[in-house]
Chain A
Amino acid sequence: MSRLTTALTIPREKLEKFQTAAHIGGVVAAVLGIVSVLVPWSYAHEPLDDVAYGGAPSPLQFNYLGLTVIALVLFAAPLVFRKPSKVRDWVAWNTGARFAGYGLLATGFVAVAAIGIESGGLINVDPGGWIALVAGVVGAVSGLLLLGSPDPSMGKIKTHSIVQIFAIAGGLAAVLFAAAFALGLSGPGAFLFYLTFAGSLALVLVRTGVFGWFAKCAADNKKIMVLAAFFVAFVFPFTQNGSDANMSIATQVLIFAATALGLNIVVGLVGLLDLGYIAFLGAGAFTSAVLSGSLYSHLNWHPPFIVTVLISGCVASLLGLIIGTPTLRVSGDYLAIVTLAFGEIFRITMNNLDGSDGPNITNGSNGINNVPELNLFGFNFGKPHVMLGIEIGRFANYFWLMLLVLAVIMVVFVNLNRSRIGRGWVAIREDELAAEAMGVNTFGLKILAFAGGAFLAGLAGAVKAHYDISVTPDQYVFLESAFLLAAVVLGGMGTVMGVLVGATILKLLPEKLRFFSDYRLMLFGLLLVFMMRFRPEGIIADERRQLEFHAEDEELAESVEEELITYHDHFNPDALTTEDLR
């Protein structure tokens, strides 16, 4: 992303003349944006969840209003406070203002396009929409003309821990509110508009340095942050008022994310390319379905679910061992091909275990239907329950169960990553020969990663079988493996947060944007190409991988190093100080 901003090379001297003009232009753009909200955007009522009223902004327009106000502040502040001071330099005003300008353009453009498409022609765009677009163009041009500001120092402010905890609570509450609001939007245009808005806002927060301060708050209170994040995820069903559609998507996202986290061990930590990973999820699902006591299952043994989950994980990791032992001796492209074939073999085998070509275990392509609802400790997952006056439906029950499974998987991932085993894995990724020469059992560790990752996928599969009710071989096609891999690469290899973000993007977008799902392969392909060009380390980068891809970027190298040092200082306050290293 930093390259996008430096791609335009207008000499600094020329730009300096335009600084005041650019600031004023930005203020004009922001004011135009504010005015636009008071004027109807669209003639018809359908687009963007109804933006057809003058003087009464819709909820979406209030969000847009927030962005314009932020842009106004960012553009106007340097006009008011002309002298540089320590407090002023906390925030990167100009850089933030530039991105706010881009954000105005992006949201304005999406708004006009969505109104045009959803109401049958640009003729139905009312003056408000056009004003918003003009505001965007003026804002983006003004932003382009601004000189970048020095790096913000907000991330270095010392804050009292109570303030930090409140910041975490506030930030997460905002995320929860935003998620609930976004999922409550009805039209695809409205959803896309909100997504553009949220993306712009996030970029502005990152670029101004405000996000850096949040990151420090989070890093200083790691445990509280993790617990709070889980709490937010836990209360999410309460924001949905019993709506099943959104909870169903959310549960699918969690299943997908849990599987992707398992894959992240294999791909992100050990650096082995696995293209057949969905087979392990399938193995878990089929095992769980066969043992579930479904009428279509031919095995007359149904242990309690906790046992089933473990058996599913073990079956999946056994498959991992079977495929891994002979093939992990090959590496790179060959391993990718072998695993690709394995994924297909799994699907075809499940198709053939139908009684005519083999033993009847899976009913062939019909799969195992009517997998009964889970019933744990008297809590029936299939029935809605009323809690705190809000109806918690079937999907929300499974959402909570999946949240628990995801938490387990995350603990496994993080603890392994921070141990001797995790170091061995990363060493193999970095230089296998050197790792072997240092006494690292490379083959054993690769097998462990393969089997361990498969086990985690098997756990997720066991829940998926009950959640989906029916398990059929055609759910586990190669495309799903490709999507899992895309989630890992898109989000950031080797990180937990990155994979969660990647999984959310890849699962949520096609569900909420129906028109998008026809073109999803093309659009995800484009997205990946753009990511590889501008941010190959993924949306949320592992601090180490970031360096791998931007080795020439000395500034980045230093900043990451600094981060590592502060991180370290945090855990060993008396060991080292930053000055020692200079």
Chain B
Amino acid sequence: MKTINFDHFAATKMRDEVKAAMEPFFTEEYGNAQSIHNLGDAPREALDKARSQAALLFNCASNEVIFTSSGSESNNLAIKGVAFARMAQGKHIIVSSIEHFSVLNAVKSLTKLGFEFTALSVDKDGFVNPDDVKKAMRKDTILVSVTHASNEIGTIQNIKAISEEVHSFGNGAYMHTDANTSCGFIETDVKELGVDMLSAAPHRFYGPKGVGLFYLKKGIRIMPLIDGGVQEFGRRAGTENVAAIAGAGTACELAKNELNKRREHLLPIQKHVIDTVLSSIDEVYLNGSRSNRLPNNVNFVVKYIEGESMLMWLNNSGIMVASGSACTSKILKSSHVLTAIGVDAALAQGSLLISLGEDNTMEDAKYFTEQLPSIVQKLREMSPLYEEAKSSK
């Protein structure tokens, strides 16, 4: 049976070009990039190259790019790094209520050290209102962090307008955006976005796992989370993961060159999935903005049934998807993002999260939309909630 990956937010297949860029640094050019002797030459060159490739994607200077271990680490570096460096100026941080856990749990951890945070509510499509940011700003606000695009519902925020509110408040607060989901699929030009910091995750766009990207604008103060040597301009110590960084650089270059091609490939597939599912199954709802949405994300809630069961039946048909139901969450809580956009807790259990990628075809989308209705029907026939709803009609 064919395996269809409709869960690219979990993992994308590395591109051959990425793998090829990594290969020399495992056994041939295994040197330490910090070495003065010749073994350090090729690794050092690889780091420089990757840094310029990332800088081109972000439209920044090479020395504004820091390599970390993951998108989560980049988010932690932004939140805690700024908090620790600027606690004399203030202890208030603003985030949105639909951030990734690497942002939300980071600010929550900081409350144990006396920091406070405001989690901004979002509208039914998941948008943060820039006016709300302005209203939430305080004299002691040191940082605002809003995700570029939601990793669950795909809604793309108006980061430019939010950044403008943060900077025009005039207290020196910094603006960070988590672009771990958006990078590689829509523009992540830091000048256009107006941000001081940005996080990105190469494994989401055909790069390797084990490496994260962090844009840190020149002049922005952070305290490192990992102290040690001089690596990454002293902002992130530890011997560099040269192979992964080389792969990340190549993934950035591919992203820069292919952004339009990717969008053109994904949009019709996304449209087919959304339109067909909404028209062929009753009481299914699309979450997130229809128009201002990542081209690779689809998020439905299917009434009366539970997401993990749907996920398992789809898996049985060779289709890999994710769900935001409590049962799939591992902490047994349904998606905080669906809660934030006002999806009823019971309905949120029927969450189905699809994330597309370059290996998906229109045939995959058609196969999925053929399989889903009978799976939904099967589970509904087994559901006491469906039975109740039918008998009350």
Chain A bound to chain B: no
B interface residue numbers (CB < 8 A to A): none
- Enumerate chain A interface residues (CB-CB to B < 8 A): none
